[in-house]
Chains A and B, each alone.
Chain A
Amino acid sequence: GQQLNQSPQSMFIQEGEDVSMNCTSSSIFNTWLWYKQDPGEGPVLLIALYKAGELTSNGRLTAQFGITRKDSFLNISASIPSDVGIYFCAGHPNTGANSKLTFGKGITLSVRP
């Protein structure tokens, strides 16, 4: 089946630093989503991308839909302690009624004050 690759599994940064994450696939996706999950809670949508090459921002977060449609990137600028959590990418092929959203395994972000 389709898989999304996110690595490394964990990232540790200093407060105020920028951080970049990427998500890659061997298959083409026509929708890319980025979610954040706080400890003990459900994932919350950060950014949705629907067009190859699209660059979208949400506050300090910026995400891009890769030109090849096989990857996506998330950047967090000027990190703060509340950025701590698990960041998931998700892709959808939009190939028919039975196509489903595929999730990466997530990256756990820690921010040192």
Chain B
Amino acid sequence: DGGITQSPKYLFRKEGQNVTLSCEQNLNHDAMYWYRQDPGQGLRLIYYSQIVNDFQKGDIAEGYSVSREKKESFPLTVTSAQKNPTAFYLCASSIEGGSNIQYFGAGTRLSVL
């Protein structure tokens, strides 16, 4: 089946630890995105990538890092510099220059121990 796979579904981070959230898509989409969702805040863009080996900061990039070494993969690292990491993280992908529709994964819930 074609789609976007996020893993793990639940993740726990200890103080001072970096954690990496996985996002893989087999839709052959050019663009990929990471959003953070907090209750009542909607979706806030962390980073996005329109092409392999290139990515741009979104509205709340501080404390996060990404890489785009392959078209199918766009992992997000939540670094120890992110002081309030507890949230629901969503990955999405879209065809660049197409319908503007973003397709989402099922999300990863990150909590701090």
Chain A hits for B40, CB < 8 A: 9, 105
User: Which A1-44 residues have C-beta < 8 A from chain B?
Assistant: 1, 9, 31, 33, 35, 40-44
Q: Which residue of A lies closest to B91 (CB)?
A: A42
Interface of B is mostly: strand
Which of the residues A48, A97, A103 comes within 8 Å of B43, measured between beta carbons? A103
- Interface size in chain B (residues, C-beta < 8 A): 23
A106 within 8 A of B: yes
B100 A31 Cβ-Cβ under 8 A: yes
- Interface size in chain A (residues, C-beta < 8 A): 24
Q: How distant is A72 from chain B, measured CB to nearest CB, in Å?
A: 14
Q: Which residues from chain B sit less than 8 Å from chain A, CB to CB?
A: 4, 6, 40-43, 45, 48, 50, 59, 90, 92, 94, 99-107, 109
Q: Across chains A and B, which 3 residue pairs bring their CB atoms closest together, nearest first?
A: A42-B104, A105-B42, A92-B100
